[in-house]
Chains A and B, each alone.
Chain A
C-alpha cells in the first residue's frame, strides 16, 4: 500500500489544505475504505419502480393520460386528467378509486407526505439495463452509442455537435424551435423542457416553443401546483411514464422541468435552482415586489433578449460539472503565473472593487475578493455564463448591472467587463455606480501587467496544452516533485509530436482509466481530466456526465448516504467514487477494468493532483470562505 493517500500525511500541504480539522486524521487509503464496504447495489426500490414504469405508455405524449396521486390514505385517490383539445389543455380533479388506476403509474413526491421514494435508475448493471432492454424499441441497440436514447429527438443538433468532440461542443445559441407549441408533435417529443411561469400561470420562459402559444400549458402547470398547495402541501415531482416533472416554487415564480433523461430528482431540482439564480442575476429579487403589488404582472418582457443566456445555461447542464459539483475549475497555470495575475488583481481590488475575476472561458485564472466578501461558486458559474453567452460583451468594454444571487439577491452590483482576447476576460464588480472610469483605468493597469508578465500568453499556451490527461497518470508510485513541466508530465508538450499524444490518448489511461473529476472540498474547486478516447463524442461525454451526476446524487443522498466510497460496474463504465473530508474523486474506467487496479489508479490520481495542485488550483487566501 505504498501509494495510499496516507503516505501523503507527511506533506505540510495537507494541513494547509485543511485548516479546520487540525489534528486531522488523514483519510484512509481507498483500499481500506472499499474493503469495508460492499459493492453498492442498486436500491431495492428501483426495481419495483421500474416495474411500474414498464409497459406504460408515455404519459406525456399520450393523447390522454391520467395522473394519479396516491396519498398515504389508501382510500383517497385523486387523478389529474390531461386531456388534449385543439390547442388547449385541461387539468381536472377526479375523485373516486377507479379512474385513477387506469392511467400511468404516477408517483407524486410531496414535502409533507412522501409515500414512495422514486429512485431514478442508476447506471448499474442490474435493473436499469434490463428495463431499457425490455422497452420495445431498443433491444438490439449498442450501448456504446446508446445516448441516442436520450437524444433521439435532437439528433440533428448532436450530429453537428459531434464534429467538435474534444472541447466544449459547439452549439447553436438562443431559442430553438421557437415556433412550436404544445400541440406540436416535435415539441412533445423533446427530452427535456424547462419552464418559468408566474404564480398566476402566466408564462415567463420556455426552453422550446413560443411562450405565448404555451399559455394554456403554463396554466395547467400552475393549476397542478396550486391544487396541491391548496391542500397545504407542496408538489416536488410527478412521475408519468418515462417522464419526471420536477417543480420548484420560489415565491411568485414557479419553475418546472419535464424530463425523460432519467436524471435524479436532486439533479433536476439543482438545475431549476440554477435557472432561478440566472434569472435573479439578470433582474434581482426585486421583481417579487412587482408581483406583490400586482399579481397580474407579466414578467416576460423584463427578460427580453435573454433567451441565449438561459439556453446556454441549460446546455451547460450537459457538459459543465460545475453545475452539479457546486465548485469552480481553474485554467492550469504555473504557480508563478497565477500568482502574478492574483497580485495585480489584489492591487486593484484594494481600491474599492468588490471582486476582480480573470477568466478564460469557464475556467478561472485568478480571482480576488475585497475583505469579507465571498463569492459562491454558483454565482461564478452564473456570472460567467451570462457574460460568455452575451455577444455585446465581446464587442466592447461594458458596464452593466448584475446581481449575484448568493451574495445579495436583492440588489444590483455593477460589472465592468472587458475581453483581452477571444477567450480571456476580466470582470470587475463594484457596488459603486459611478466607478466606470476608475474600473477602466484599473483594467488598463491590469492589462499592462498581464502583458508584461506574459500571463496572457501563458493562458493561450495552457489553452492549447489542455489540462490533465489520463494518459499522463504517473505509473510509478514515487512521489514527483516537478516544478518546471506542465502538470507534472514527464515531458514538455512541445517535445512531443501530436501523433504521439493521439496514440497515447487512444489507449486511455493506465488500468483502463478513462476520465476523472477531483473536487477539493475546502477550495470549492474541482479539476477534471481532458476527455480522451474512447470518450470522444459529444454524446459519450454527456452520458458520462449524467453518470457522474447520478453517482454524485447517490453519494450525497440524505437518506441512504452520505457514502464514503462507491464502486459501480455496468456495461458502460466502472465508476469509482471516493469522498473524504478533503476531497471527492469521481473516476470512470473501462467496464472491464480490474477493481484492485482501479483502486490503485485512483490513489495515483490523487497523488498526482497533490503533486500538481499548485498548477491546477488557485491556492492561498480563498475568497470562498463562507
Chain B
C-alpha cells in the first residue's frame, strides 16, 4: 500500500480539500470548517440537525460518508459565524477515510454517548487521532450526548470533564432530543475562535 499523498496535507494543516475557499472572510463575518467525529449511533447527525434545522427525529438514520450542512449564528459582539459542518459517518469502514473530512478543519467536535462506555473510548481514539493529524491549532470540543438518559448513564460528568481538561478541550453535555445545550455548544465554540486581526 503506497504512502498516502494526503499525509502532507494533513500534517501541514493546509486549508485545501474540503475547505471553503475563503474561510475567515473578515473579522466580523467568520466562516469556519467544523467536523463532527465519534462512534456510530452517538447522535452526531441529531446534534447537527437540531442546531441547523431545530429538528429532532428519533428514528435512527445511519449517515453514509459525510453530510454537509451550514448554519450561521450571530454573537453578542455583532460578529457572525458561519459554520460549515461535516457530519461524518461513525461506521468503522469510514475511519480510514476520516482525514478527508477533518483535514484543515478549524473545529472538531468529538461526540460520545453518555450511556455507552465504548463510545467514550472511541471518542478518546478520535482525540488522539486529531492531536496527531489534525491542524495544529484545531479547537477540540468533547461532547457527551444523550444527557436526557440520566438513568442509563455509564460515563460520569467527571470522567468527561477530566479527560477534556487533560487534553485541553472544551467539554459539554448535550441532548439533541431536548435541545439542551445544543446552541450553547456552538456559541461556546464561536467564542473560542481566533479572530483574524483586522487589517
Segment with Cβ contacts to B, from A23-31, A300-308, A452-460? A300-308
In the assembled complex, the Cα of A392 lies from the Cα of B45 at a distance in Å of 9
B63 lies within 8 A of A392 (CB) = yes
> What residues of B have a CB within 8 angstroms of the CB of A301 in the complex?
92
A78-99 vs B: 1/0 string, CB under 8 Å?
0000000000000000000000
Using A395-B49, A396-B67 as known contacts, say yes or no to A433 and B93 having CB atoms under 8 A apart: no
> What residues of B have a CB within 8 angstroms of the CB of A489 in the complex?
none
A391 lies within 8 A of B61 (CB) = yes
> What residues of B have a CB within 8 angstroms of the CB of A57 in the complex?
none
In the assembled complex, the Cα of A398 lies from the Cα of B89 at a distance in Å of 11
In the assembled complex, the Cα of A399 lies from the Cα of B101 at a distance in Å of 9
B100 lies within 8 A of A395 (CB) = no
Query: Size class of B's contact patch?
Result: 20 to 34
A437 lies within 8 A of B62 (CB) = no
Using A304-B92, A433-B17, A437-B20 as known contacts, say yes or no to A392 and B68 having CB atoms under 8 A apart: no
In the assembled complex, the Cα of A474 lies from the Cα of B67 at a distance in Å of 48
A434 interface contact, C-beta 8 A: yes
B67 lies within 8 A of A397 (CB) = yes
B25 interface contact, C-beta 8 A: no
In the assembled complex, the Cα of A551 lies from the Cα of B172 at a distance in Å of 63
B57-89 vs A: 1/0 string, CB under 8 Å?
000011111111100000000000000000101
B61 lies within 8 A of A433 (CB) = no
B168 interface contact, C-beta 8 A: no
In the assembled complex, the Cα of A412 lies from the Cα of B65 at a distance in Å of 12
B6 interface contact, C-beta 8 A: yes
Those of B1-24 within 8 Å (CB) of chain A:
6, 16-21
Contact of A392 among B18, B62, B92, B97 (CB under 8 A): B62
B119 interface contact, C-beta 8 A: no
A390 interface contact, C-beta 8 A: yes
B115 interface contact, C-beta 8 A: no
> What residues of A have a CB within 8 angstroms of the CB of B64 in the complex?
305, 386, 390, 392-393, 398, 400
> What residues of B have a CB within 8 angstroms of the CB of A401 in the complex?
65, 94, 97, 100
In the assembled complex, the Cα of A303 lies from the Cα of B40 at a distance in Å of 12
A436 interface contact, C-beta 8 A: yes
In the assembled complex, the Cα of A171 lies from the Cα of B192 at a distance in Å of 47
In the assembled complex, the Cα of A396 lies from the Cα of B44 at a distance in Å of 14
> What residues of B have a CB within 8 angstroms of the CB of A395 in the complex?
45, 49, 61, 67
In the assembled complex, the Cα of A283 lies from the Cα of B45 at a distance in Å of 22
Using A282-B93, A392-B61, A437-B21 as known contacts, say yes or no to A399 and B66 having CB atoms under 8 A apart: yes
> What residues of B have a CB within 8 angstroms of the CB of A304 in the complex?
40, 62, 91-93
Closest B residue to A440 by CB, please name it. Answer: B68
Query: Size class of A's contact patch?
Result: 20 to 34
B68 lies within 8 A of A399 (CB) = yes
A390 lies within 8 A of B62 (CB) = yes
Contact of B68 among A282, A397, A402 (CB under 8 A): A397
B68 lies within 8 A of A396 (CB) = yes
Query: Separation in Å of the A490 CB from the closest CB of chain B?
Result: 45
In the assembled complex, the Cα of A302 lies from the Cα of B66 at a distance in Å of 16
> What residues of B have a CB within 8 angstroms of the CB of A436 in the complex?
17-18, 68
Contact of B92 among A302, A308, A437 (CB under 8 A): A302
> What residues of B have a CB within 8 angstroms of the CB of A434 in the complex?
16-18
In the assembled complex, the Cα of A308 lies from the Cα of B40 at a distance in Å of 16
A385-426 vs B: 1/0 string, CB under 8 Å?
010001111011111111000000000100100000000000
Closest B residue to A433 by CB, please name it. Answer: B100
B66 lies within 8 A of A391 (CB) = no
In the assembled complex, the Cα of A282 lies from the Cα of B6 at a distance in Å of 21
A399 lies within 8 A of B93 (CB) = no
A297-331 vs B: 1/0 string, CB under 8 Å?
00001111110100000000000000000000000
> What residues of A have a CB within 8 angstroms of the CB of B18 in the complex?
399, 434, 436-437
B93 lies within 8 A of A400 (CB) = no
Closest A residue to B61 by CB, please name it. Answer: A391
A283 lies within 8 A of B68 (CB) = no
In the assembled complex, the Cα of A433 lies from the Cα of B66 at a distance in Å of 13
> What residues of A have a CB within 8 angstroms of the CB of B61 in the complex?
391-392, 395
> What residues of B have a CB within 8 angstroms of the CB of A433 in the complex?
6, 17, 100
In the assembled complex, the Cα of A308 lies from the Cα of B91 at a distance in Å of 14
Closest B residue to A286 by CB, please name it. Answer: B1
> What residues of B have a CB within 8 angstroms of the CB of A415 in the complex?
65
> What residues of A have a CB within 8 angstroms of the CB of B100 in the complex?
401, 433
Contact of B93 among A302, A386, A390 (CB under 8 A): A302
Closest A residue to B92 by CB, please name it. Answer: A301
> What residues of A have a CB within 8 angstroms of the CB of B40 in the complex?
304-305
B67 lies within 8 A of A398 (CB) = yes
Query: Separation in Å of the B113 CB from the closest CB of chain A?
Result: 15
A398 lies within 8 A of B66 (CB) = yes
Query: Separation in Å of the A46 CB from the closest CB of chain B?
Result: 45
B91-126 vs A: 1/0 string, CB under 8 Å?
111100100100000000000000000000000000
| Most chain B CB within a 10 A radius of its CB, from A302, A393, A396, A437 | A396
| Most chain A CB within a 10 A radius of its CB, from B6, B40, B63, B65 | B65
Contact of B65 among A306, A399, A440 (CB under 8 A): A399
Closest B residue to A387 by CB, please name it. Answer: B64
> What residues of B have a CB within 8 angstroms of the CB of A283 in the complex?
93
B17 lies within 8 A of A303 (CB) = no
In the assembled complex, the Cα of A308 lies from the Cα of B21 at a distance in Å of 36
Query: Separation in Å of the A105 CB from the closest CB of chain B?
Result: 43
B62 lies within 8 A of A305 (CB) = yes
Contact of A400 among B6, B17, B66, B69 (CB under 8 A): B66
A392 lies within 8 A of B16 (CB) = no
Query: Separation in Å of the B61 CB from the closest CB of chain A?
Result: 4
> What residues of B have a CB within 8 angstroms of the CB of A402 in the complex?
65
Closest B residue to A386 by CB, please name it. Answer: B64
For the complex with contacts A390-B64, A399-B18, 13 further pairs of A-B residues with Cβ separation under 8 Å are A301-B92, A302-B92, A386-B64, A392-B61, A392-B63, A395-B45, A395-B61, A397-B68, A398-B65, A400-B64, A433-B100, A434-B18, A437-B21
Residues of A bordering B, CB below 8 Å? 282-283, 301-306, 308, 386, 390-393, 395-402, 412, 415, 433-434, 436-437, 440
27 A/B residue pairs, CB under 8 Å, sorted by A: A283-B93, A301-B92, A304-B40, A304-B91, A304-B92, A305-B62, A306-B62, A308-B62, A386-B64, A390-B64, A391-B61, A391-B62, A392-B45, A392-B63, A392-B64, A392-B89, A393-B64, A396-B69, A396-B87, A397-B67, A397-B68, A398-B65, A398-B67, A400-B65, A433-B100, A434-B16, A434-B17
Which A-B residue pairs are the 9 nearest by beta carbons? A400-B65, A305-B62, A391-B61, A434-B17, A392-B63, A396-B67, A302-B93, A304-B91, A436-B18
